Amino acid sequence: MAIFDKFEQLAEERRRLLEGGVSVDPLDTVMGRVLSPTEAIVEGRRTILAGTNNYLGLTFDPDCVEAAAEAARWEGTGTTGSRMANGTYSSHAALEQELADFFGRKTAIVFSTGYQANLGILSSLIGPDDTILLDADCHASIYDGVRLSGAETFRFRHNRVEDLERRLRRLRDRSGEVVVLVEGIYSMLGDRAPLAEIAEVTKAHGAYLIVDEAHSLGVLGETGRGRAEEAGVEAAVDFVIGTFSKSLGAIGGYCVSDYPELDLLRYTSRPYIFTASPSPSIIASTREALRILQERPELRVRLWENAERLYRHLEGLGFRLGPEVSPVVAPRLPRAEDALALWQGLLEAGVYVNLVLPPATPDDSSLLRCSVSAGHTPEQMEAICTAFSELRDLAHGA
């Protein structure tokens, strides 16, 4: 059909990918049965999951599972309505208050997904008369949110504070507001934003600062609040956006702020107004996970021990990695064919990681993106490291 002609190049690239002898489509891998936070049956084989973003391993936590089941028994499987209609339950309001309290902020809004949190906040908070400066490596949901805002948008080079400052100086005479957008941990290479320096130059130029803590909630900071807490600049961050789908093991998103006017966005944010609210079971398990995050700091300690172990092992094998130790450990390979061969070899060895190909990567390299978890046992970490060691020769140009 002609309407699909525009996808012919994509279809051809996918055909070429699958003609290379790969037995499983790496872009459409099916988890036959999930056994635990760190294991599943894939292609009939028991497989260690090393690419799930399940940083604290809470998806099977008994308290989270029981909270979700109890909520479904008492309040049903879904809300069948938006927050503006019949979709605000007492548990939604309770989670918003708990998030505000956790972050030490005055207000919070919960969305149905993390993607919608960025769409909903950015498209309604920022207007056509405003200007946005965003890190070039920001997530697709941030790009989509700023596109919907209608604001003029400029990218600055990834984590380059001097480039941000140069662009802020050029915007000095703009009549609208200027907003700077960055992430706490970047999802592809696992590197942190230099947030103390970014906050300093942003405030020096009178701009607003928004930080997406999707991959840093529960991972960074003394209490797990993210990169802003770790960098000691929470007071300089105007809005924190994040997701429940990483450390909290569920699905949903949020924004917290000290501006009480944030609540006005409930009446203007289309992704908030016209989307069914999260189901009671999701809200219940998220609330329980947020409690666990605060009460079990040992999970964060275990996560970083596992991250350090994998990063140093792959570094010792000669792989080109991101610039620092992180729960996201991503070997970079210049040739997609080598990345695909190594991905399949790992899967056949019982280790699942994410294969990420251009243009989704920060540069023209391909990634074997691993994300470790507090749930990975020492034995599982050893198996992951061993698999990479035995298959190292498949990555010719790494």
pLDDT category, 21, cuts 50, 70, 90? low
Given this model, what pLDDT does residue 35 score?
A: 97
Whether 202 is in a domain gets the answer yes
pLDDT at 91 over 80: yes
- Pair (217, 87) in one structural domain: yes
Among 72, 81, 33, 63, CA closest to 282: 72
Average pLDDT over residues 134-145: 97
In the chain, the amino acid numbered 9 is: Q
- 135-157 exposure pattern, b = at least 16 Cβ within 10 A, e = fewer: bebbbebbbebbebbebebbbbe
pLDDT category, 379, cuts 50, 70, 90? very high
Whether 113 is in a domain gets the answer yes
- Pair (266, 379) in one structural domain: no
Whether 56 is in a domain gets the answer no
Q: Which of 295, 317, 350 is the last residue of a domain?
A: 295
Catalytic residue among 123, 124, 141, 187: 187
How far is it, in rounded angstroms, from Cα 378 to Cα 398? 26
- Pair (14, 140) in one structural domain: no
- Pair (195, 137) in one structural domain: yes
Structural domain for 248, as ranges: 62-295
Given this model, what pLDDT does residue 24 score?
A: 73
Given this model, what pLDDT does residue 396 score?
A: 59
pLDDT category, 394, cuts 50, 70, 90? confident
Given this model, what pLDDT does residue 317 score?
A: 95
Q: Which of 295, 313, 330 is the last residue of a domain?
A: 295
pLDDT in tens, 201-251: 999 999 999 999 999 999 999 999 999 999 999 999 999 999 999 999 999
Domains in the chain, number: 2
At a CB cut-off of 8 Å and minimum separation 6, what does 161 contact?
194, 197, 198, 201
pLDDT at 109 over 80: yes
Average pLDDT over residues 13-35: 80
- Pair (348, 276) in one structural domain: no
pLDDT in tens, 269-283: 999 999 999 999 999
- Pair (191, 88) in one structural domain: yes
Whether 4 is in a domain gets the answer no
- Contact in structure between 371 and 53 (CB atoms under 8 Å): yes
Catalytic residue among 124, 149, 216, 246: 246
Whether 238 is in a domain gets the answer yes
Given this model, what pLDDT does residue 180 score?
A: 98
At a CB cut-off of 8 Å and minimum separation 6, what does 39 contact?
46, 47, 48, 49, 380
Q: pLDDT exceeding 90 applies to what percent of the chain?
A: 86
Given this model, what pLDDT does residue 397 score?
A: 54
Given this model, what pLDDT does residue 373 score?
A: 98
pLDDT at 53 over 80: yes
Catalytic residue among 91, 123, 141, 215: 215
Whether 272 is in a domain gets the answer yes
pLDDT in tens, 311-351: 999 999 999 999 999 999 999 998 888 898 899 999 999 99
Given this model, what pLDDT does residue 20 score?
A: 67
Identify whether 246 is a catalytic site residue: yes
Whether 112 is in a domain gets the answer yes
The kind and range of the H/E element at 180 are strand 178-183
- Pair (253, 355) in one structural domain: no
- Contact in structure between 103 and 238 (CB atoms under 8 Å): no
pLDDT category, 17, cuts 50, 70, 90? confident
Average pLDDT over residues 369-388: 98
Q: Which of 228, 260, 295 is the last residue of a domain?
A: 295
pLDDT category, 12, cuts 50, 70, 90? confident
**For 10-19, 70-79, 105-114, 362-371, which range has the lowest pLDDT when averaged over its residues?**
10-19
Given this model, what pLDDT does residue 398 score?
A: 60
Tokens of 180: 């700077």
Q: pLDDT exceeding 70 applies to what percent of the chain?
A: 98
pLDDT at 301 over 80: yes
